[in-house]
Structure 1
Amino acid sequence: MESKHYSQNIAVQYCFPDNNSSCRKEVRTGPAYIFLFFVLSCVSVFTVFLNLLVIISISHFKQLHTPTNLLILSLSVVDLLVGLIVMPGKIIQLIDSCWYLGEMACTVSLVVSFMSGSGSLCSLVLIAVDRYIAVTDPLLYSMKITVCKTVLLIIIGWSFFLLYTLIYLYSNDHLLSSQIFSSCYGECVMYVKYSWVLVDLVVCFLVPCSVILVLYSIIFKVAQRQAKAVKAVMTGASNKHGAQSSNVSETKAAKTLSITVFVYLASYIPYCIGSLTDNNLTSSSMVWTVFSWLIYMTSSFNPLIYAIFYPWFRASVKYVLTCKIFGYPSSRLNLFPKHV
């Protein structure tokens, strides 16, 4: 009888007891939720820490100021926002169903959440285009792709997806603060119209992913031809080795970055399938929660991919963690091994 009475007391708790329109509070306790809270909190801190290392490394060292690394920097900024803003908010809502930060914070959270996904895809598309040009036309790459052009493309891409995000939220009645708490006070839940689920599937998945897959399929075909050419060079035509080496390094970079792309796509596909199968999709549904966290986790995986495959990242991390970057000439240090 006591346990039953206790559960009833929990069920009638409210987010804001003094407000007549307050939402009912659902507090999720128990060892499983405590463990989940701890794990996800570690993931959030881990995500912020690793992406800060990437951002500091690329921003500080002059040698890393290349078009490709600027695209990686753009992706890391998105991943940082996910770990710093999106993940903590979602963790709180997993443990306590109430939203205590107010209407404006809810709006900002929704904008950042959708911009993180859109910004990631924007960066991945630009990375695919960058690697395509680097591999297929290496001699003219430095002329076609410059730092200024890359910065301009990043700004244009982010502006487009910001505009799309605002239109998306406004069309689903979630952009204006007066429209956020439509059912009760203390709720930050997004209700997505099914028509916009289809639009979002095309704009933020089918189109960019098709571009990415086509470009990388071409890159891999070129890489196969280059591998045969390098083999021929190694067996006899040693005088051509210098002409081939830069192209080989570009191919290696393309293969490395393709891992980042396909990790993201593998995480995004379940979300899209779940969105199509649920006609009454809300941001509080279990389908949305599980599949959204699969996408958020890519923000933690990306820095690990850089750490595994990029020697310059491992070298820069050593300087950052040992505080050697505060020395005056540190920004001009050579981070690339001589044999690469």
Structure 2
Amino acid sequence: MDNADYRQNITVQYCFPGHNASCKKDVRTGPGYIVLFIFLSCISVCTVFLNLVVIISISHFKQLHSPTNLLIVSLASADLLVGMFVMPVKIMQLTNSCWYLGNMACIVFPIINGLSVLGSLCSLDFIAIDRYLAISDPLHYSRRITMFRTSVCIFLGWSFCFLYVVVYMYFNDHFLPSQLTTRCYGECFVFIKPPWVMSSTYIFFFLPCTLIFVLYAAIFHVARRQAKAVRAVVNGAGKVSGKASGSSETKAAKTLGIVICVYFAFWIPFYISSLTVQHLTTVSMVWTVFGWLSYINSCMNPLIYAIFYPWFRICVKHIVTFKIFETSSSNFNLYKEH
């Protein structure tokens, strides 16, 4: 028994061997973790690349300067933060239980994490509102929705998200020095109190989901009504026009279905688990698994909101071939091939 205990003791590793209060080190190795590390790293790289392409394209090409695309830049910026900062840190925590980034990073990282995720959700809501206004009142849309007003809305939305995250962390005692000194040295986690789990679920899940669902349902209803009006006008033009209208309506229905299904599929497991688990920390297995689903949604957003636009493939071609460095590249016609 003594020999077994001795062998067990000599295999124990610590995050900071020279520190008396150091946490025990749990390095996760094996083929499964290696595959998981490679897969999640690829997701992180793809998230950064796709969202950078969206931001560079809309920022560089003047033809893409519009209120709607400005909202897409806001969405891509939030998702870029997820891929550039949140995902790498989460990958590190999956492979090594120790926190080597220091106490200040332990305080700042959850704020960046919450801001990026909430900024993404806020941008999705703004995009839904923008598309509803564009299709329900197309004659007055360009006058009511300007670049300045859109920029103000984005600024206010991000400001609200930042304020909520700071208040959220404050009332969960994240800024108290005792939260960093009473635990072992080399660990970083946030304990989420149940009332705040409930409030976040309602404010940043049920309300945004309800708003998006209602707006997209209204968009689909208006699109169907407009399609019927077009078919009635061109009814005498023959079957070709009617078929084209039906095809356009079907395409719009599929696009809206993809948007709604992907959004709900990636976020429902995370928030449902938040309501069913009594005690949660940011290092719990529940939040680790379902949290990664929500992070992967940041990789899907540019695919849904950008790659299906005809100009996206042309922008990728110009960026990859370095044509954007040409003097007049900002004035390229991105719609000439369509």
One fold, TM greater than 0.5? yes
Within the alignment, does 1:325 sit opposite 2:324 as a pair? yes
When residues 177 and 133 of structure 1 are mapped into structure 2, their CA distance, relative to the original with a 3 A threshold, is farther
Alpha-carbon offset, residue 7 of structure 1: 6.2
> What letter matches 1:155 in structure 2?
F
- C-alpha separation in 2, matches of 1:275 and 1:102: 28
TM-score of the two chains, using structure 2 as the length reference: 0.90
Alpha-carbon offset, residue 154 of structure 1: 0.2
When residues 255 and 78 of structure 1 are mapped into structure 2, their CA distance, relative to the original with a 3 A threshold, is farther
- C-alpha separation in 2, matches of 1:110 and 1:225: 45
Percent identity (aligned): 59
SS of residue matched to 2:328:
helix
Map 1:284-323 → 2, pairs under 5 A: 284-306=283-305, 308-323=307-322
- C-alpha separation in 1, matches of 2:96 and 2:310: 42
* Partner of residue 108, structure 2: 108
SS of residue matched to 1:71:
helix
Within the alignment, does 1:14 sit opposite 2:14 as a pair? yes
- C-alpha separation in 2, matches of 1:169 and 1:191: 9
Alpha-carbon offset, residue 203 of structure 1: 1.2
- C-alpha separation in 2, matches of 1:254 and 1:278: 36
* Partner of residue 207, structure 1: 207
When residues 149 and 258 of structure 1 are mapped into structure 2, their CA distance, relative to the original with a 3 A threshold, is farther
Segments of 5+ residues of structure 1 without an aligned counterpart are: none
> What letter matches 1:229 in structure 2?
A
Map 1:230-245 → 2, pairs under 5 A: 230-236=230-236
* Count of matched residue pairs: 331
The answer to whether the 8 Å contact 2:132/2:215 transfers is yes
The answer to whether the 8 Å contact 2:33/2:95 transfers is yes
Residues 279-320 of structure 1, C-alpha deviation per residue, up to 9 Å, x if partnerless? Answer: 111111110000000000011112222454111111111001
The answer to whether the 8 Å contact 1:14/1:22 transfers is yes
> What letter matches 1:279 in structure 2?
Q
The answer to whether the 8 Å contact 1:256/1:309 transfers is no
The answer to whether the 8 Å contact 1:135/1:222 transfers is yes
SS of residue matched to 1:18:
coil
* Partner of residue 222, structure 1: 222
- C-alpha separation in 1, matches of 2:249 and 2:50: 25
Map 1:25-40 → 2, pairs under 5 A: 25-40=25-40
The answer to whether the 8 Å contact 2:72/2:305 transfers is no
SS of residue matched to 1:236:
helix
SS of residue matched to 1:25:
coil
Q: Cα RMSD between the aligned structures?
A: 2.6
- C-alpha separation in 2, matches of 1:255 and 1:181: 53
TM-score of the two chains, using structure 1 as the length reference: 0.90
- C-alpha separation in 1, matches of 2:41 and 2:22: 27
- C-alpha separation in 1, matches of 2:181 and 2:72: 37
Residues 249-290 of structure 1, C-alpha deviation per residue, up to 9 Å, x if partnerless? Answer: 999789747734542232111111101111111111110000
SS of residue matched to 2:187:
coil
Residues 149-187 of structure 1, C-alpha deviation per residue, up to 9 Å, x if partnerless? Answer: 000000000000100000001111113566345421111
The answer to whether the 8 Å contact 2:78/2:119 transfers is yes
* Partner of residue 278, structure 2: 279
When residues 151 and 180 of structure 1 are mapped into structure 2, their CA distance, relative to the original with a 3 A threshold, is farther
Segments of 5+ residues of structure 2 without an aligned counterpart are: none
When residues 26 and 54 of structure 1 are mapped into structure 2, their CA distance, relative to the original with a 3 A threshold, is same
- C-alpha separation in 2, matches of 1:140 and 1:175: 47
SS of residue matched to 2:126:
helix
